A and B are shown apart, each in its own frame.
Chain A
Amino acid sequence: MSVIFRLLPKISVAVAAVISMFFQVNIAFSAPQLSPLEITADHEVIYCTTGPVPITDKVKQALNEGTPVIFSWEIIIDEVNDYWIDDAIGSITVVRQAVPDLISKSWLLTDTSSGISQRVYSVEEVIQFLSRLQNFPTLDRSLLTSGTLYSFRIKLHIHEGELSDSWWSEATRFGKTVALEEVALP
């Protein structure tokens, strides 16, 4: 037991080193090419349009082989500070899901934020549905101030299979930033 206590500092160092490396890897993977992000607004709502993000062959294969695919989009809005950490304004998550039906060779597309579902019979339609956000109502216009610089960051987590509600699954759901834009509303 005393050996364990004596080795405890070294164990801590090793764990910290591995955790830091884990996040280093995460950061390294979270710097892909960004998709264009268009921010539009009317008198009441801020809209986001982005995509299409590139879909890997693995995802396409999963869709064709009957595995449900879930695209979890997280839109994070921060107020940009020059000399300090940005202030968080808000964030919204939209989950889009495609459930294949191998028997009928169709895919049931569901937008969990609106609850609308649609059955399509072409994988291109599925990809188009999953890989882009088109004029997605993001934020109430009143939350933003004219002339202030805001950053809109979109993180995307792609999950294959059924989405688990466990805390562990949610804790390890690391999205990667796919779009980033800084705008100041008129």
Chain B
Amino acid sequence: MTGIIRFLPLIMTAALWATIIMLWPTGTPSEGSIVAWINMTLLIILSLALLKYGLRILREQKERRAGSRLRAKLVIALVSMLLIPTAILQVAGNQMVERGMDVWFDVRVDTLLDQALNLAQGFYARVDSDLKQGLTAAMNDNELLSHVATLPISYALLNTRLHEIMQHEGWQSIQVFDLNERLVANVQMEGLPGLESAVLDDEAKPALTLGLISTRLVSTKGEEMAVGYAPLRAHQNVVGILRAQVKLPEGIVQNARAVEADYRSYKELERNRQSIRGTFTHAMLIATLAIIIAAGIVAVGFARRLTSPIGELANALERVTEGDLTVSIPSAPEDELGSLVHSFNRMTLRLKQNVEALEQTQAELTGALDSSRQRQYVLETLLANLQAGVLLIDAKGNIRLLNQAMRELLHLSTDWMPGRSITPLCKGRLHLVGEFYEELQHQSAEHLQRELELTVNKQDLHILARGARLSGAGSAGFSGYLMVLDDVSSLAEAQRHRAWAEVAQRLAHEIKNPLTPIKLAAERLQRRFRKTADDTDVFDSCTHAIITQVERLQRLLGDFSDLARMPQPKPTAVPARELTTDMRELYSAYPRIHVETFTDDIQCYCDADQIRQILINLMDNALAATEESKAPVHLYGSHDDNIVEFHIQDGGSGIPDDSASHIFDAYFSTKEDGSGLGLAIAKRIADEHEGELLLVSNRQPTHFCLRLPTEETSMEQS
């Protein structure tokens, strides 16, 4: 139904155009068609206005303009209220005219008027016929002819005879003219006042020239007379003209002329029957259109006045919905809508005040929150950048906070997250952490510090754990435990290394001194007492063993000294090709050693002597491992923009699996006479160069890789 109402103006427009086409005036323009053209104008105006209004309704419906639908309904309702009765009136009026036409132009009226006219015409014809008959009798009257033809004319006798004929025929006057159209005799009923100079008119010519009787009707001063002319012949010659005049009865003449006028009017109306009907229809249509247009204008004005406050209210509400609380409707009618508008204005004012208060509170809260966030941000940044792992536990044993360093340090699973209880999580390899937490909980002191040995990702870590109980006013109402775990493995390693170095240095110093005299003494014994010895073989083997073992001890002590007195590397930009070329020249005597030098001019940033020491150590180990099998040993290099790699592969027996993880530990060796310090020193040199020494594969082939940076590193800068 709403859809129909929406399109009603357009439907009415179409109906109007159909009406325009149907009623379009045709035929020759005339005065009567002006009304039709006025109607066309009004119809076109109305259709244009309706078209515009219909399009506006559609547009407003599409745009959801406030109050438009109500306005459209009001206008359509008001116009329809007038349109329907006026349309009914129009149709009824047309029907009445149609019926009226049928009644007015009834065949009986037509016949009646024809008969009346025929009656009048019959009377006139009778008068004319009588006049002609009388004139015929007169023109054949011998007495009259003798008076006219006998000269000199006896006017008394002629007039007497004329008077007798006039009396007999009932004429009003009778004259006789000669051939020169001069009046010869004149007799009339009226006296001297009616005496006029009779003049022959054109109607007399047939009588004069052709000898025929002619009559005609003459109207003067509201009177009508029949005038007739007849020739007077004597001896077949026309000797004069007889003119007779009959006055028609006044009443009959009036009636006859009235009949004629009515007949003429009736026929005119009958001929213009269609145009009369059209004129009436158009006249009624003008009135209808005028009413509809006036009603439409009034309806539009009324609807606009009624819906305008509603539209303003709706617009204002929409703005309020969008957050604009400054809206206010300035004008309002003095009725219920006005009361609504005032209430709306009060409501928006109160809303505005409330929102302002809320905004002020919000600003204060936001300030406080910003401050809190800033503090939180600082704390989170601090925790994120801390190398130490931090774990905060509340009084119920649930994790409240732990930083990334803690996760990375202990390789924590995803179960470790705020809100989870810590006790079930501290099991297996992390049981020491749980025990530390238990101890922290149950001790009386506020702080606790322990060193924990944990195995994380197959690495033994030395952890310094410190704990603190949080409670009281200083903790802002929070009670719980704070645990800070530091990886001090490197520090412990360094301390242990330093201790070992110091011990080794002292031992070397204390042992090395007597070794030289022992060796010299053994050699002296060999030289001086060999010849006197009973058993030379035993003597030789003993002295040789002493000398050999002393030399071994001296080498061992040398390694200890090297480990203890490892100098700081002095890195420079060294061409990688130079290092491999040195190795090729150095081991050129071994045909099973294949060295591939770098083809590119890549440089590595290192202490060349120390790197050569690593490479020689690795090559020596490879040669030793392949001494029996004579398997080939390969040295080659590779690089990218940041790293230069030296690869040493051999096809020896390889390194047992259980030894592979300890191969870089100090004093660990798979060789019987090894000190276990070579790879440890090599590893340390690589670490001090910010590089890496990796065991890529422990057998088939045994593959070591030394990685060195191509540019100066931060460690070296420091």
Contacts and interface: CB of A to CB of B under 8 A. Distances in A.
Given A10-B45, A18-B41, A65-B268, A172 B260 contact: no
A18 B40 CA distance: 7
A122 B25 CA distance: 36
B268 A172 contact: no
A143 B268 CA distance: 44
B256 interface: yes
Contacts of B28: 29, 174, 176
Contacts of A104: 124, 217
Contacts of B416: none
B264 interface: yes
Interface in B576-604: none
Contacts of A67: 264, 267-268, 271
B297 interface: yes
B263 A65 contact: yes
Contact of B117 (A26, A102, A160, A174): A102
B41 A25 contact: no
What 4 pairs across the A-B complex have the smallest Cβ distances?
Answer: A65-B267, A66-B264, A14-B44, A18-B41
A168 interface: yes
Nearest to A161: B268
B271 A119 contact: no
A100 B217 CA distance: 13
A168 B421 CA distance: 110
Contact of B264 (A102, A169, A172): A102
B31 A169 contact: yes
- A contact face: mostly helix, strand, loop, or mixed: helix
A22 B268 contact: no
B366 interface: no
Nearest to A166: B31
Contact of B29 (A14, A15, A25, A58): A25
Contact of B52 (A10, A65, A174): A10
A163 interface: no
Interface of B: 25, 27-31, 34, 37, 40-41, 44-45, 48-49, 52, 117, 120-121, 124, 216-217, 256-257, 260, 263-264, 267-268, 271, 297, 300-301
Given A22-B29, A25-B29, A65 B271 contact: yes
Contacts of B257: 103
Nearest to A18: B41
Contacts of B27: 29
Contacts of B300: 3
Contacts of A66: 260, 263-264, 267
Contacts of B120: 102-103
A127 interface: no
5 contacts: A14-B41, A18-B41, A61-B271, A161-B268, A172-B31
A160 B32 CA distance: 13
Contacts of A18: 37, 40-41, 44
A58 B271 contact: yes
A25 B29 CA distance: 8
A85 interface: no
Nearest to B32: A172
A107 B214 CA distance: 17
B45 A11 contact: yes
Contact of A172 (B30, B217, B256, B301): B30
Interface in A82-116: 100-106
A31 interface: no
Contact of A62 (B37, B263, B271): B271
Contacts of A160: 268
B41 A168 contact: no
Nearest to A67: B268
A108 to B, nearest CB: 10
A174 B257 CA distance: 33
Interface of A: 3-4, 7, 10-11, 13-15, 17-18, 21-22, 25-26, 29, 58, 61-62, 65-67, 100-106, 119, 160-161, 168-169, 172, 174, 176
A110 to B, nearest CB: 15
B121 A102 contact: yes
A95 to B, nearest CB: 18
Contacts of B41: 14-15, 18
Contact of B49 (A7, A29, A58): A7
B34 to A, nearest CB: 7
Contacts of B217: 101, 103-104, 106
Contacts of A21: 40
Contacts of A105: 121
B247 to A, nearest CB: 15
A26 to B, nearest CB: 5
Most chain A beta-carbon neighbours within 10 Å: one of B45, B49, B297? B45
Nearest to A171: B31
A176 B27 CA distance: 13
B116 to A, nearest CB: 11
Contacts of A15: 41, 45
Given A62-B271, A102-B117, A7 B263 contact: no
A102 B256 CA distance: 10
A3 B260 CA distance: 54
A67 B271 CA distance: 11
A25 B25 contact: yes
Nearest to A164: B31
A29 B30 CA distance: 12
A103 B256 contact: yes
A65 B45 contact: no
Contacts of A58: 271
B113 to A, nearest CB: 10
Contacts of A61: 267, 271
Contacts of A11: 45
Given A22-B37, A65-B264, A10 B29 contact: no
A169 B263 CA distance: 25
Contact of B44 (A3, A17, A119, A168): A17
A102 B29 contact: no
A26 B44 contact: no
B260 A102 contact: yes
A174 B264 CA distance: 25
A169 B27 CA distance: 18
Most chain B beta-carbon neighbours within 10 Å: one of A21, A102, A174, A176? A102
Nearest to B51: A10
A174 B263 CA distance: 29
A14 B29 CA distance: 19
A172 B45 contact: no
A26 B28 CA distance: 7
A2 to B, nearest CB: 8
Contact of A3 (B37, B40, B267, B301): B301
